[in-house]
Every structure is written in C-alpha cells, then in structure tokens.
Amino acid sequence: MLNLTGQNVAILGAGRSGLAAAKLASRCGASVTVYDSRGPEVFAAFPQGIPTHPGASAETGAVTLSDLVIVSPGIETKGEFVQSFAINSGALWGEIELAWRCFSGKTIGITGTNGKTTTTELIDVLVRAIGKTCAPCGNYGVPFSEIILLDEVPEVVALELSSFQLETTVDFKPDAAIWLNFSADHMDRYEDLMEYFEAKQRIFAKIDADTPVVIRQGETLLALPGMPGKITTFSTEEEADWTLAGDVLQRGDEAFIDLSETRLRGLHNAENLMAACAVVEGLTPEIALSALTSYDPPAHRCELVSSEKKVEWLNDSKATNLHALEAALRSQTRPVILIAGGKQKGLDYQPLTPLLKEKVTQTIFFGEIGAALAVTFFDIVPTETTDTLDEAVELASQKAQAGDVVLFSPGTSSFDQFSGYEARGDAFKAAVLNLS
C-alpha cells in the first residue's frame, strides 16, 4: 500500500470518484480535505472523519498548500480551478494514478473512443472463466479506488480508461493495454484533435517492450518511449492476428468462436470480443464459448427495444460521438430511420454523408444540435426536426414501415436535456414502449 503518512492531500470533486479517492488516501495515512465548488449537499455520502470544503473556488486553491492534489475526471484539468490548487502542490494526480499505486494485482487497461465498456465487461467475464478473480472499474462506473478498498481485492482489474482519466496519470503502467479505436470526441474540452489523441495515448507512456499491447489493425499511433510492446492486432476489415470470417472469430488460421452462438451482434462487437480474447492469457475457445453463452451486452448499445409491427427499434444512446454513430449505421442491413441529436460538441458531421445516402431513408434530429444537423443534411436525405426525444419517437412511429429499423444513435452527448446517456436511453425506451 502506498505510504502517504504526514502528507496533506487535496481531493478535488465530491462525486463517487472523489469519495473513493478520499477514503483510499486516508487509509494510506494522508491528511485529506475534499473540495467542491458545489454546496454542502454534495458531501452527504462522506464520513464525518473526512474534512470537506463546499463552495470552493480558484481563490480557495490559491491559498491552499498541499503535498498532493488528486483531481476527479469530470473536472477540467487545465481549468483555473484545478490549476489554482496545483500551483501550491507537490504533485497533481488523478484517482487512477492513486489507485494503481496501491494495487499489487494485474491491471488490464482499455481505451479507445468507442467500445470500451463492452470490452471491459468481456474481459471481466473471460478472466473469471479462466479461474481468476476480476473486477471491471474505472470509467466503467466503479472507481478503481473502490476496488482497492474491498475486503477481498481481486487478482485482476479490467480498467476502462477515458482520456479525462489518462491525462492525469504520471507513472501509471498497465500490465496489458488495449487500444480499440480513435475518432473525434470531446472537442468541447480539448483545444484540438491532437490534444485529445495525446491524452488517450498516455496509456502507453510507461510501457516497455514486454508489455502485451492489443491494437486495432490500421490505427495510427505516435512513437513513445518503450513502444511498441508485444503487439497483437485485430480487425474485421483488414489482415490481422485476429479476424472475422462470416460470424467466426479467427485467431490466425484457427476458428476461435462463432459470434452467432453468443448474444453479441455487429462488427463493432466482434472487434470488442477479439480485443478481449486477445488480452486474456490461457483462454481457450471452449472456455470462451462457455463463458459467453449467457453474457448480455451492456444496455444502450444497439439494444433491441421492440419489434412490434415488424419494425425494429434500437437504443444506441451510448453513441455519444460520430464514430459510434457511424459504427451503428454500418451494422444495419435494413432501411434506417435515424434519430440523432443532443449537445453541441463542436464535431464535424459531414463525414456521415456517404452512410446516410447508403443506409438512411429518413432522419429525425432533436435537441441543441438538431437544427444545425438538419441544415447540414437536408439535401442528402429526408429530414425532420423536433424539440424533444419523445416527439422524435412519435414522428418516427408515423414514418416507419414494416421492415424498417428505427435507430436511436444520437452521435453526441446527452447533457443538453439529460443527465447522461443512460437516462437518455431509458427515456427512448419508455417512449417506444408507450407508443399506442
């Protein structure tokens, strides 16, 4: 366990990640204070022994001396709030860095723009199937620090890593690393695409030549000290170590697992499964198939909601960026009525044009970005706009015919109207199931 005895640690953010980091740093011997710009109500879950500071500001940070600042991923690292605390601190870490320094087991790090959560879950299922204890955590929703605080710490963690979490790593070195894919996202947080890319690629910053690395074939990565590690590639489109022949995942020339015998569908899920299988040592086809037979993919990822009147309604609310929307469209073989829209994130949607022409018979845009999308695509495909998701679902039901797919794949984040993609997906499912 990391020794922080005698050190003053400032935790920024009172969410689940901040609470877990505060508890873990306290266990390591630190004197901890948690700061948040919001009111006292956000500290309701904190134990009485941890000092808290509601209503914190950059002015608070400017007069706070600490040996270490630990920042929650939802707070912008380069923002004035974080930097005011960092100026008078010995070091700035994220919660991932703290937890990793306290963990003696095996860390499998997973990053990429899309597919991280499904791949993280699959790794958890497959590691358990080979007889080891495992926990999915990180951007998956369970802070890494919570896992370290368990009475029985697992042998392996499947650690989903967002760019926000990776940008505050320092010495973090996973025992194995997966790079799924990369495309534009979070342009409302990063100055340009390269800054976002470099944050993601920090997963490789400390690896050495013996670190197993699983990468989608065709991905471009910058040279870093210690790269490339022991690389295994996967792809449904190009020659790679892991490929797809029909529905069968191939490891080299060996048929490994038939996707049709699982509940995973679509090329994107085939690649997620390839990456997961490639990183789990000792996995055989028999063990993998047995483990996956009862596995249900995460909700809000091309989730079938209804097939009434021979119209399939798919909830792909997790599509919070253009790449995820493109992947969902590519996987469709039936005429598509596309419902998309949400928060304006500064993304360029023009690259969608060929897929819209090929796959989509009707678009329905809603939310903050809805009108702009309608202007972009009005001469490409029939287009309608609505203010709300409920209205979009009702309009889609009027337009849908037998054999159509109504694909709810927003292509951007939900924070204009919803608290997160889960709430947005639940709202879509409720609206579909309430159709008369």
Nearby residues of 44 by Cβ (< 8 Å), 6 or more positions away: none
Q: Does position 365 have pLDDT exceeding 70, yes or no?
A: yes
**Helix, strand or coil for residue 320?**
coil
Looking at the structure, do residues 85 and 116 belong to the same domain, yes or no?
A: no
Rounded percentage of the chain residues whose pLDDT exceeds 70:
97
Residue 170 to residue 394: CA distance in whole angstroms = 49
Instruction: Identify which of 70, 148, 168 has the alpha carbon closest to the alpha carbon of residue 103.
Output: 148
Task: Give tens-digit pLDDT for 272-281.
Answer: 999 999 999 9
Task: Give tens-digit pLDDT for 202-232.
Answer: 999 999 889 999 999 988 776 655 566 789 9
Looking at the structure, do residues 277 and 358 belong to the same domain, yes or no?
A: no
Task: Give tens-digit pLDDT for 63-85.
Answer: 999 999 999 998 999 999 999 99
Residue 263 to residue 268: CA distance in whole angstroms = 13
Instruction: Identify which of 69, 73, 106, 110 has the alpha carbon closest to the alpha carbon of residue 90.
Output: 69
Instruction: Identify which of 411, 406, 404, 387 has the alpha carbon closest to the alpha carbon of residue 396.
Output: 406
Listed residues 244, 261, 292: the one ending a domain: 292
Is residue 2 domain-resident?
Answer: no
Rounded percentage of the chain residues whose pLDDT exceeds 90:
77
Check which CATH number belongs to the domain holding 19 and give it: 3.40.50.720
Listed residues 46, 63, 90: the one ending a domain: 90
Mean pLDDT of 165-179: 96
pLDDT level of residue 53 (50, 70, 90 thresholds): very high
Give 365 or 74, the one with higher predicted confidence: 365
Residue 338 to residue 271: CA distance in whole angstroms = 24
Average pLDDT, the chain: 93
Is residue 1 domain-resident?
Answer: no
Is residue 224 domain-resident?
Answer: yes
Looking at the structure, do residues 162 and 286 belong to the same domain, yes or no?
A: yes
Looking at residue 223, its pLDDT comes to 60
Give 1 or 235, the one with higher predicted confidence: 235
Mean pLDDT of 159-181: 95
Instruction: State how many domains the chain has.
Output: 3
Q: Does position 3 have pLDDT exceeding 90, yes or no?
A: yes
Peptide bond into 297 cis (omega under 30): no
Looking at residue 180, its pLDDT comes to 94
Instruction: Identify which of 122, 116, 158 has the alpha carbon closest to the alpha carbon of residue 294.
Output: 122
Going by their DSSP bridges, the two strands 303-306 and 312-315 should be labelled as antiparallel
Neighbours of 314 (CB within 10 A): 23
Q: Does position 88 have pLDDT exceeding 80, yes or no?
A: yes
Q: Which range among 179-188, 212-221, 306-315, 420-429 shows the weakest confidence by mean pLDDT? A: 179-188
Handedness of CA 61, 76, 12, 414 (dihedral sign): positive
Is residue 121 domain-resident?
Answer: yes
Looking at the structure, do residues 377 and 277 belong to the same domain, yes or no?
A: no
Residue 162 to residue 74: CA distance in whole angstroms = 10
Is residue 95 domain-resident?
Answer: no
Mean pLDDT of 92-100: 98
Nearby residues of 402 by Cβ (< 8 Å), 6 or more positions away: 309, 310, 311
Handedness of CA 46, 2, 98, 212 (dihedral sign): negative
pLDDT level of residue 137 (50, 70, 90 thresholds): very high
Q: Does position 433 have pLDDT exceeding 90, yes or no?
A: yes
Task: Give tens-digit pLDDT for 29-51.
Answer: 999 999 999 999 999 999 988 99
Check which CATH number belongs to the domain holding 132 and give it: 3.40.1190.10
Looking at residue 59, its pLDDT comes to 97
Is residue 99 domain-resident?
Answer: no
Q: Does position 241 have pLDDT exceeding 90, yes or no?
A: yes
Task: Give tens-digit pLDDT for 331-361.
Answer: 787 899 999 999 998 888 899 999 999 999 9
Looking at residue 75, its pLDDT comes to 92
Looking at the structure, do residues 177 and 267 belong to the same domain, yes or no?
A: yes
Check which CATH number belongs to the domain holding 414 and give it: 3.90.190.20
Looking at the structure, do residues 421 and 361 belong to the same domain, yes or no?
A: yes
- The whole domain housing 323 covers 303-433
Looking at the structure, do residues 111 and 237 belong to the same domain, yes or no?
A: yes
Residue 174 to residue 427: CA distance in whole angstroms = 37
Looking at residue 358, its pLDDT comes to 95
Looking at the structure, do residues 340 and 214 belong to the same domain, yes or no?
A: no
Is residue 97 domain-resident?
Answer: no
Residue 279 to residue 277: CA distance in whole angstroms = 6
Looking at the structure, do residues 189 and 250 belong to the same domain, yes or no?
A: yes
Mean pLDDT of 385-407: 96
Looking at residue 228, its pLDDT comes to 62
Looking at the structure, do residues 181 and 149 belong to the same domain, yes or no?
A: yes
Looking at the structure, do residues 135 and 282 belong to the same domain, yes or no?
A: yes
Listed residues 225, 260, 292: the one ending a domain: 292
Looking at residue 188, its pLDDT comes to 65
Q: Does position 187 have pLDDT exceeding 60, yes or no?
A: no
Looking at residue 383, its pLDDT comes to 97
pLDDT level of residue 415 (50, 70, 90 thresholds): very high
Looking at the structure, do residues 86 and 151 belong to the same domain, yes or no?
A: no
The pTM assigned to this predicted structure is: 0.78
Is residue 37 domain-resident?
Answer: yes
Looking at residue 299, its pLDDT comes to 85
